[in-house]
């Protein structure tokens, strides 16, 4: 029976039953974590052979530089070749960073903030700077812009990506809007892949601010959960066709390909952007860890092998996504509570509770020993205007624990929804 | 015969002879590089066993976190224990960074610039910000402050460290002076170790600006070139005695201990500083490469072993410093040209030419195939007011090549000095 169609008496009965189940769970003293998109140990084991690649004693990059030493600010050539394929740019349109694409994004914002973009006024000298933030989105993106005092504007997501009518209108009117955060493939947390039309509209965007940049965080570009994945079209190629290639900064990493703590991060952009950025980068560092770059290159060899490697990840984590969705379907669909969509890739399931229930559910779960991403985290400033979005991260826990955590989760959803409905009666 | 005592005719004869030798060298088509403080290949080989430390299959840090995954923003506990010993702080007074202490310094300046230090006004909001720069010094330090538009003031070096009378006077009068760059042990490029008195005077410094910080780049803290090294006293300990422990940020790295491209960088500071800094650090990155941290810990085990390891470096590079100084002594002392001092540690020999000759000498060397650090690089804005300081970096070339390069160098010094004297006759 649909929860919202229950009368008060039925609801009270339902709530009491659910509360009893909740208390049983609480008594079990669980301690489970579904808060972040962490690969599980089995996934880490997939890349162990990468640690032996230097058994050959060969430390020279293709251009003769010893990777153990200083030099090659923007990366070794073979890493540029490999990772430019991953993010869809040419070898001279890429910079290889350290282990963190978040750090590369932070640096790109910081550089624009303190020094400006291609000769434009530094953002710090502008009266106001704003970023568009498709919501729900990635909390760490929002923290970066918040750190620099950049005002964030929520943009609703549609099944095709951000609301492009709104994006186009805003950027064409307001030159204080300097950027937008995008996770174009398998968006965090909803798993939405931008449609061809959305990507094309981004590629030809003509913002009033010449120093507007799309921060295209293609974090999950090869992180598919189906055998026949639909990939997004190449934004830089599209932008080039329109003579608009400076519009986008592309980011990616192997954090969820090899090791989250010891992967390789990359940034792609037009040659003009890359040349300008490298001048600033050379102030902050001599070179990133080129041994780790070569480790990745020797381990994978080709981009095709990287994609094959990702299938092994899929085999490990796809069943976890299935398990989560099965429990949601079984327990919540009959009651008509909440909405979600099984993603075809990425690391998250975005769950929408009835309006005003997300915080309560996260709190209920925490009190019973299951940590979820904070409610509100998927919105700028941590404020979900409808208090309804919860990001579920199913990859890390072993499947038994995951099922346990999800059993608790659906109980908490039911309980909070019943409480809410009762409060409105 | 002392060059400056030659009459015009003698000088012309000397110059012609030297020019002939120079042209002979030029005809050899050399291509040697003495520009940067790079360890040589033999030194890199010393740390090769570090690549096998994970053969034990153990990836857990002491607190149970898998180093392959996310987490531990400020480093794994065992890396904190090891590297806090290296830079002379407690385990909870250290942050472990990536492969670059320059990057940590850049970040520390950037954070102060954009967000301020312990609640003080961000430097970017101050009308003017200045840094004191002991000269000659490290070019990459100066580039960082220049990047942020910070005005740099030259401070003369004495055999005991920076001119402390001048430092004390300036910082007590001018609250726009927010920092000073120091390489306290085996300074870059002069190899000067600060006296106990200098360190104590720094430790009790009471600048007018509450947010003044000493950027204490202890890059060469264990990089001795003698068997019986004199180390500097501990600035943080001294500062604590005076209740002044927030005054200093300490930096160090293993770039010249293990691998320049794949070492570990660290920052030490008071607990209050560290806690404040970590809040900002967490915006820019999730965690640095903890696998590399554990690699270092497993390889060294203890700080004592690190020091033993450094003796092997000394055995490789001390003869190179000897060779450079022998050639300078033999060729230039009898002529009374130039001044230098054999360092007891670090990576450089600072050579002072007659006033107005440094650029010419570097150019002469370059034209004959030997690349030196640019003249002027050891001063803020690349401007050596007397055009006399040249930084020699003897570690990288094989000793035969180094000798060859030095033979050319002394010829260029002689030629430039003779030209200069003739121009004044």
Of B41, B98, B99, the CB nearest to A66: B41
Q: Which of residues 240-269 of A touch B (CB under 8 A)?
A: 255, 259-262
Q: For residues A87 and A252, is the Cβ–Cβ distance under 8 A? A: yes
Q: Give yes or no for A181 touching B (CB within 8 A).
A: no
Q: Give yes or no for B61 touching A (CB within 8 A).
A: no
- Picking from B54, B253, B261 by the largest number of A CB atoms within 10 A of its own CB, the best residue to mutate is B261
A51: chain B residues, CB-CB within 8 Å? 51, 54
Side-chain-side CA neighbours of residue B70 (13 Å): 16
Q: Give yes or no for B98 touching A (CB within 8 A).
A: yes
Q: Do A261 and B103 touch (CB under 8 A)?
A: no
Three-state secondary structure call for residue A39:
coil
Rounded Cα–Cα distance for residues B327 and B342 (Å): 12
Q: Give yes or no for B100 touching A (CB within 8 A).
A: yes
Q: Give yes or no for A38 touching B (CB within 8 A).
A: yes
Mean pLDDT in residue range B308-329: 98
Q: What is the pLDDT of residue B347?
A: 97
- Picking from B38, B59, B68 by the largest number of A CB atoms within 10 A of its own CB, the best residue to mutate is B68
Q: Residue A224 pairs with which residues in a beta bridge? A: A345
Q: Give yes or no for A33 touching B (CB within 8 A).
A: no
Rounded Cα–Cα distance for residues A137 and A156 (Å): 10
Residue in B with minimal Cα distance to A139? B283
State the helix-helix crossing angle for A358-367 and A399-424, rounded to 10 degrees.
130
Q: Do A261 and B113 touch (CB under 8 A)?
A: no
Q: Give yes or no for A295 touching B (CB within 8 A).
A: no
On the question of pLDDT at B106 being above 90, the answer is yes
Q: What is the pLDDT of residue A230?
A: 85
Q: Do B114 and A124 touch (CB under 8 A)?
A: yes
- Picking from A75, A122, A284, A396 by the largest number of B CB atoms within 10 A of its own CB, the best residue to mutate is A284
Of B38, B106, B262, the CB nearest to A289: B262
Q: What is the pLDDT of residue B77?
A: 98
The model's confidence at residue B36, banded by pLDDT at 50, 70 and 90, is: confident
Q: Do B115 and A44 touch (CB under 8 A)?
A: no
Rounded Cα–Cα distance for residues B185 and B160 (Å): 11
Q: Which of residues 129-148 of A touch B (CB under 8 A)?
A: 140, 143-144, 147-148
Rounded Cα–Cα distance for residues A219 and A186 (Å): 9
Among candidate residues A318, A372, A370, A380, the one with its CA nearest the CA of residue A344: A318
Q: For residues B86 and B221, is the Cβ–Cβ distance under 8 A? A: yes
Rounded Cα–Cα distance for residues B83 and A310 (Å): 36
Mean pLDDT in residue range B30-35: 91
Gyration radius of chain B's alpha carbons: 23
Rounded Cα–Cα distance for residues A210 and A178 (Å): 8
Measured in angstroms, the CA of A1 and the nearest CA of chain B are apart by 43
Residue in A with minimal Cα distance to B53? A51
B99: chain A residues, CB-CB within 8 Å? 98, 288-289
Pairing of strands A32-34, A370-372: parallel
A41: chain B residues, CB-CB within 8 Å? 66
Tokens found for residue B308: 């033993």
Residue in B with minimal Cα distance to A53? B51
B356-404, pLDDT tens digit by residue? 999 999 999 999 999 999 999 999 999 999 999 999 999 999 999 999 9
B107: chain A residues, CB-CB within 8 Å? 284
Q: What is the pLDDT of residue B372?
A: 96
Q: What is the pLDDT of residue A13?
A: 97
Q: Do A36 and B98 touch (CB under 8 A)?
A: no
Q: For residues A82 and A264, is the Cβ–Cβ distance under 8 A? A: no
Q: Give yes or no for B176 touching A (CB within 8 A).
A: no
A251: chain B residues, CB-CB within 8 Å? none
Return the DSSP state at A192.
P
Q: Do A286 and B71 touch (CB under 8 A)?
A: no
A59: chain B residues, CB-CB within 8 Å? 44
Measured in angstroms, the CA of B182 and the nearest CA of chain A are apart by 18
DSSP, residue by residue, A329-342: HHHHGGGT--B---
Instruction: Please identify every stretch of chain A with a pLDDT value under 50, giving residue numbers as ranges.
Output: none
Q: Give yes or no for A18 touching B (CB within 8 A).
A: no
State the helix-helix crossing angle for A139-147 and B271-284, rounded to 10 degrees.
120
Tokens found for residue B320: 């190179």
Q: What is the pLDDT of residue A329?
A: 98
Q: For residues B75 and B94, is the Cβ–Cβ distance under 8 A? A: yes
Q: Do A289 and B290 touch (CB under 8 A)?
A: no
Query: Is the C-alpha dihedral spanning A267, A268, A269, A275 positive or negative?
Result: positive
B155-186, pLDDT tens digit by residue? 999 999 999 999 999 999 999 999 999 999 99
Q: Do B286 and A143 touch (CB under 8 A)?
A: no
Complex confidence, ipTM: 0.97
Q: Do A70 and B261 touch (CB under 8 A)?
A: yes
A38: chain B residues, CB-CB within 8 Å? 69-70
Tokens found for residue B34: 């003495």
The model's confidence at residue B88, banded by pLDDT at 50, 70 and 90, is: very high
Q: For residues A353 and A364, is the Cβ–Cβ distance under 8 A? A: no
SS3 labels along chain B: CCHHHCCHHHHHHHHHHHHHHHHHHHHCCCCEEECCCCCCHHHHHCCHHHHHHHHHCCCECCCCCECCCCCCCCCCHHHHHHHHHHHCCCHHHEEECCCCHHHHHHHHHHHHHHHCCCCCCCHHHCCCCEEEEEECCCHHHHHHHHHCCCEEEEEEEECCEECHHHHHHHHHHCCCEEEEEECCCCCCCCCCCCCHHHHHHHHCCCCCCCCCEEEEECCCCCCECCCCCCCCCCHHHHHHHCCCHHHEEEEEECCCCCCCCCCCEEEECCHHHHHHHHHHHHHHCCCCCHHHHHHHHHHHCCHHHHHHHHHHHHHHHHHHHHHHHHHHHHHHHHHCCCECCCCCECCCEEEECCCCCHHHHHHHHHHCCEEECCCCCCCHHHCCCCCCEEEECCCCCCHHHHHHHHHHHHHHHHHHHHHHHHHHC
Of A54, A68, A148, the CB nearest to B261: A68
Q: Give yes or no for B44 touching A (CB within 8 A).
A: yes
Tell me how crowded residue B334 is: count the other CB atoms within 10 A of its CB: 11
Domains within chain A, CATH numbers bracketed: 3-43+307-424 (3.90.1150.10), 61-301 (3.40.640.10)
* Matching residue, tokens 């981004």: A202
Mean pLDDT in residue range B316-327: 98
Rounded Cα–Cα distance for residues A8 and A15 (Å): 10
């Amino acid at each position: 029976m649909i929860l919202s169609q229950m009368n008060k008496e039925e609801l009270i009965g339902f709530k009491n039953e659910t509360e009893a189940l909740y208390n049983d769970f609480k008594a079990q003293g669980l301690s489970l974590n579904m808060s972040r998109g962490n690969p599980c140990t089995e996934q880490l084991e997939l890349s162990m052979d990468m640690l032996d690649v230097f058994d050959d004693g060969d430390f020279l990059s293709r251009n003769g530089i010893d990777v153990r030493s200083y030099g090659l600010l923007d990366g070794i050539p073979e890493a540029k070749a490999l990772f430019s394929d991953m993010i869809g740019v040419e070898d001279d349109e890429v910079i290889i960073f350290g282990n963190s694409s978040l750090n590369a994004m932070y640096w790109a914002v910081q550089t624009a903030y303190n020094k400006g973009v291609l000769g434009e006024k530094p953002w710090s000298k502008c009266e106001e700077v704003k970023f568009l933030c498709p919501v729900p989105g990635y909390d760490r993106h929002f923290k970066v812009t918040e750190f620099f005092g950049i005002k964030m504007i929520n943009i609703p997501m549609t099944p095709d990506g951000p609301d492009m009518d709104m994006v186009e209108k805003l950027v064409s009117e307001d030159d204080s809007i300097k950027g937008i955060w995008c996770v174009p493939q398998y968006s965090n947390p909803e798993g939405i892949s931008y449609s061809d039309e959305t990507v094309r509209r981004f590629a030809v965007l003509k913002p009033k601010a010449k120093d507007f940049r799309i921060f295209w965080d293609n974090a999950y570009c090869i992180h598919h959960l189906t055998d026949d994945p639909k990939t997004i079209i190449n934004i830089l190629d599209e932008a080039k066709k329109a003579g608009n290639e400076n519009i986008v900064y592309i980011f990616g990493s192997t954090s969820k390909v090899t090791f989250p703590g010891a992967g390789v991060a990359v940034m792609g952009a037009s040659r003009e952007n890359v040349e300008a950025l490298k001048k600033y980068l050379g102030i902050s560092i001599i070179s990133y860890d080129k041994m780790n770059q070569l480790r990745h290159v020797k381990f994978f060899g080709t981009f095709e092998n990287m994609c094959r490697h990702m299938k092994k990840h899929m085999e490990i984590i796809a069943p976890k996504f299935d398990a989560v969705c099965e429990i949601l379907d079984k327990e919540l669909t009959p009651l008509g509570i909440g909405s979600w969509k099984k993603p075809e890739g990425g690391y998250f399931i975005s769950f929408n509770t009835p309006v005003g229930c997300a915080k309560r559910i996260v709190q209920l779960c925490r009190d019973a020993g299951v940590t979820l991403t904070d409610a509100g985290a998927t919105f700028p400033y941590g404020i979900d205007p409808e208090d309804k979005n919860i990001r579920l991260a199913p990859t890390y826990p072993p499947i038994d624990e995951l099922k346990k955590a999800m059993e608790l989760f659906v109980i908490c959803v039911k309980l909070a929804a019943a409480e809410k409905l009762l409060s409105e009666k």
